Structure 1
Amino acid sequence: MDVKAGQVSFDQLISELSTRLINSEPAETYECIEEVIAAIGNYTDADRCYVFEFDDNIQHMTNTHEWVRNGYQAHIDDLQSIALEELPWFFKEIKAHHKFIVNNVEQLPAEASAEKAEFDREEIKSVICVGLVANQRLLGFVGCDMVRKKREWQSADIRHLGLVADMVANTLERQRTYAELIRTQRELEKANRMLQAQVAQDGLTGIANRRAFDERITNEIQRASRHNTPLALLIIDIDQFKPYNDHYGHLQGDQALKSVADAMFDQLQRNTDFLARYGGEEFVAVISATDEQKTKESIQRLLDSVRTLNIAHDESEVAPYLSISIGGYIHTPDAEEDTESLISRMISKADSALYRAKSDGRNRGYLDN
């Protein structure tokens, strides 16, 4: 072959391969590298061309891409996670020189006995490997094997494979950077979700907090307005909780709050039902698409769920156990109503019903008209 013509041909090939890699999407990286090693394998008349990647500490290497000429055996499945101890001389050479060039496997030094045994197993007569280096870090190597016959590797072969190695190294580094960005993005999204959950969650009881309620009631009013359906708001207060706290202590008081929250939460199981801690020993519930009878039934279930806990309250003037009082209000929002004003009115009406429940002896629930 005319050297000058061959040079032009190779430069054209490199240009085409480089363009393909640069313009590829991250999802196409694997396919693009396969195309590159197939092209260089054919161009150099090698029998096998491949890419190996090292782990971060260069203690293991894995064959990640392989092209094999028709009629020759593939070995990619045999060459996964190879430890430094298995091929110590090869690891030493590639780490020190970023190159590994053997014209005749039979002439390997005695210290390369493990490497010779492996090459013999793969029927390799000559081999050339060039390191994949990006940001001064050795990522792996690209290599070519000769199985049919021995080969004296020329400086042009080393230069050509070096150019391919640079392209592949930059592609792998770009892919790793992309993968790291995706991982970081997912971690940030997860952290944001957790932060949002924490911001909207009461730290003691684990249910929604006042902030979450403010957002939810607005959304439910808008939904009820669109569908012309009733919406119920309940305000729930633990009866004589201060005497309970003073008598049993704050730790037991906190546990009582958790138990009450859990019991009520279990009674509001529809996706549209919502329970939040409003502050102190006070809770709020929002029940969508309900009516007066269903709301009264919900109130009764909430009352019974706390009674069933049978939490002793020796200081209570209401019952020998912890109990709750509930005030509620039902309304069908109108599209013309101001949402903020309606929320204030619903809270005021429910609070009035709660006051009446307390005045009538507590441990009960009323609906305001």
Structure 2
Amino acid sequence: MRTTLNTQDILLILRQMPSSILFKCPERGHVYASKGFERDFGISEMGASQGQSIVFFDPQTKTQIPENANPFSMVNSGKSVSQQLRLQTDSRTMNCFVKSDILNTPLGDWVVLRVKPNSTELFADNSKHSAVSKHIVFNQLLTDFSSKLITAGAHELDSIIDQALAAFGEFCDVDRCYLFEFDEQEECMSNTHEWVAAGVTPFIDELQNIPTDTMPFFMSHISNGIFKVEDVSSIPDSAASEREMFQEQRIFSILCVGIMVGGKVYGFIGCDIIGSPYSWKPHDIEYLRRIGEMLGNTLQNLHNKKALQKAQAELLEANKQLERLANIDGLTGIANRRLFDITLELDVARCIEQRLSLSLLLIDVDYFKQYNDTYGHVAGDAVLQKIAETLTNSCVGSDDLVARYGGEEFVVILPDTDRDTLKAIAARILRNVLFLDIYHEASDHDCSLTVSIGMVNFNDTELESEHLKHGKQSASWLVEQADEALYRAKNSGRNCAKF
């Protein structure tokens, strides 16, 4: 009878261990796993070749642990290991607590890594205190997120969502956690936030503007509040395309809950497991739903704020439009008499205060009544529109105001304009009106429509005189002076400008 162990015997014993361990034979470089490890990681049977595909990650930085610094190498160099790591196999990736041991045998020392997945530790009978503590800590995190979300502005929301997804993903030990938003018509959905565990490929860039009609099975469930799949292969053949899409991404289990905003589905928050089926625990669903409700309440508040801001902006724009309409002449589109009166009073006061000169032009279309009688009011309106455009183009000062004074009369306010400049502007207007080449058989000037202009110019000393002490009286007095100048222009044969 054989009384000594050989390498195969030791391998067989370790392979049958119900606890989750990884081990290395001193004679070989291969990594082997116990039945307990295979059970926890959803592996039917891990051969030596699969053992070589085990990768260790730092769960915080998500960076891969270099070969010379992984637990086996650390033990070989004489160091012990007792730390949190993330293990990736061909089937599953999980956060685990890894502790090293040395098994002394007649055939040499074997390196053994005891691997305790976080989810296993959380629900083990002998870890009740640990489970309760973790739940308390996570609930406190949710309370903190809820407090932050209550006062969060739109610019803070992204960071809080990222933190909440990371907290849930790490607590429930899932591979991905994400937020999707639907467009207004629920025709497309986009991945707006994503957390992934170490060693997991992010998909946020690829999951943009996905047509919802390509996922009817998913949409029918999420519209009712929850989409829960413990084994993707169980998705019915009627949704084969959706099942295949999940399988292409090696997704085995999915959990999503809808987010309601404004009485409709805004989007959903979800998570998935890669590599092996997983039975979702009641607390997975409850915590994900709580995060979804918190986000929904916050997004609802932001939605309400945006709606209020939009209404306020529309009201402000409407008021501006009303004000504009109250100050703009409906026919010509330039300032009306009301805006002219207000502006002239303000300009008189400003020019006195800043010791500036102030000029005024009063312009009348010559023989306009005869034009209307001959060519009709539609043609007359067109003439007034052309004259208004010509006046606007002839006055280039940023503070100048061109207004329709009434009927066929127009007025131009020219602050900080001296006498010579005023004469040049008036001459330009007379010339530009003639360039319009509007036929008017009653005109005294080659049957062309013309205008007459009354000019007024006062310097700061004259504006401060006894005649111009009060704003309204000053403005009225200036208009009277311009009207008298216009009368002189008409008596001088029209198509001219007079002071």
Q: 2:179 aligns with which of 38, 42, 51?
A: 51
Residue 319 of structure 1 and its aligned partner are, at CA, apart by 5.0
Match of 1:262 in 2: 389
Q: Is the contact between residue 180 and residue 269 of structure 2 (CA under 8 Å) also seen in structure 1? A: yes
Cα separation, 2, equivalents of 1:252 and 1:16: 73
Match of 1:181 in 2: 308
1:8 to 2:140 alignment: no
Code of the aligned partner of 2:489: A
Residue 280 of structure 1 and its aligned partner are, at CA, apart by 0.1
Code of the aligned partner of 1:174: N
Residue 275 of structure 1 and its aligned partner are, at CA, apart by 1.1
State TM-score, norm by structure 2: 0.70
Cα separation, 2, equivalents of 1:141 and 1:332: 71
Say which SS state the counterpart of residue 251 (structure 2) adopts.
coil
Residue 285 of structure 1 and its aligned partner are, at CA, apart by 0.7
Task: Give the number of the structure with larger relative contact order, counting CA–CA contacts within 8 Å between residues 6 or more apart.
Answer: 1
Q: Is the contact between residue 134 and residue 170 of structure 1 (CA under 8 Å) also seen in structure 2? A: yes
1:297 to 2:424 alignment: yes
Cα separation, 1, equivalents of 2:158 and 2:306: 13
Match of 1:345 in 2: 477
Say which SS state the counterpart of residue 233 (structure 1) adopts.
strand
Distance change (3 Å), C-alpha of 1:230 and 1:298: same
State TM-score, norm by structure 1: 0.93
More deviation, 104-113/272-281: 104-113
Q: Unaligned 5+ residue runs, structure 2?
A: 1-121, 123-127
Cα separation, 2, equivalents of 1:211 and 1:292: 26
Residue 220 of structure 1 and its aligned partner are, at CA, apart by 1.7
Q: 1:38 aligns with which of 148, 159, 166?
A: 166
Say which SS state the counterpart of residue 32 (structure 1) adopts.
helix
Cα separation, 1, equivalents of 2:323 and 2:263: 41
Cα separation, 1, equivalents of 2:163 and 2:189: 21
Residue 325 of structure 1 and its aligned partner are, at CA, apart by 1.0
1:219 to 2:351 alignment: no
1:275-306 CA-to-partner distances (Å, cap 9, x unmatched) read: 11000000111112122222111111111111
Cα separation, 1, equivalents of 2:134 and 2:388: 80
Cα separation, 2, equivalents of 1:134 and 1:204: 47
Say which SS state the counterpart of residue 78 (structure 1) adopts.
coil
Code of the aligned partner of 1:227: Q
Residue 184 of structure 1 and its aligned partner are, at CA, apart by 3.3
Structure with the higher fraction of residues in helix conformation: 1
1:204-248 CA-to-partner distances (Å, cap 9, x unmatched) read: 111111111112212222221222111011111111111111111
Say which SS state the counterpart of residue 130 (structure 1) adopts.
strand
Distance change (3 Å), C-alpha of 1:157 and 1:181: same
Q: 1:228 aligns with which of 355, 365, 373?
A: 355
Say which SS state the counterpart of residue 344 (structure 1) adopts.
helix
1:65 to 2:193 alignment: yes
Q: Is the contact between residue 29 and residue 175 of structure 1 (CA under 8 Å) also seen in structure 2? A: no
Say which SS state the counterpart of residue 311 (structure 1) adopts.
coil
Code of the aligned partner of 1:139: Y
Match of 1:98 in 2: 225
Cα separation, 1, equivalents of 2:164 and 2:459: 67
Code of the aligned partner of 2:492: D
Match of 2:268 in 1: 141
Residue 134 of structure 1 and its aligned partner are, at CA, apart by 3.8
Residue 335 of structure 1 and its aligned partner are, at CA, apart by 5.9
Cα separation, 2, equivalents of 1:57 and 1:271: 46
Residue 71 of structure 1 and its aligned partner are, at CA, apart by 1.5
Match of 1:161 in 2: 288
Match of 1:132 in 2: 259
Code of the aligned partner of 1:191: A
Code of the aligned partner of 1:179: K
Q: Is the contact between residue 443 and residue 450 of structure 2 (CA under 8 Å) also seen in structure 1? A: no
Code of the aligned partner of 1:207: I
Q: Is the contact between residue 26 and residue 178 of structure 1 (CA under 8 Å) also seen in structure 2? A: no
What root-mean-square deviation, in Å, do the aligned CA atoms of Structure 1 and Structure 2 show? 1.9
Cα separation, 2, equivalents of 1:15 and 1:248: 79
Code of the aligned partner of 1:55: D
Residue 261 of structure 1 and its aligned partner are, at CA, apart by 1.5
More deviation, 266-275/147-156: 147-156
Say which SS state the counterpart of residue 185 (structure 1) adopts.
helix
Q: Is the contact between residue 200 and residue 211 of structure 1 (CA under 8 Å) also seen in structure 2? A: yes
Q: 1:354 aligns with which of 477, 486, 494?
A: 486
More deviation, 218-227/267-276: 218-227
Say which SS state the counterpart of residue 187 (structure 1) adopts.
helix
1:246 to 2:353 alignment: no
Match of 1:152 in 2: 279
* Overall identity of the aligned pairs, in %: 37
The total of aligned residue pairs comes to: 366
Distance change (3 Å), C-alpha of 1:87 and 1:302: same
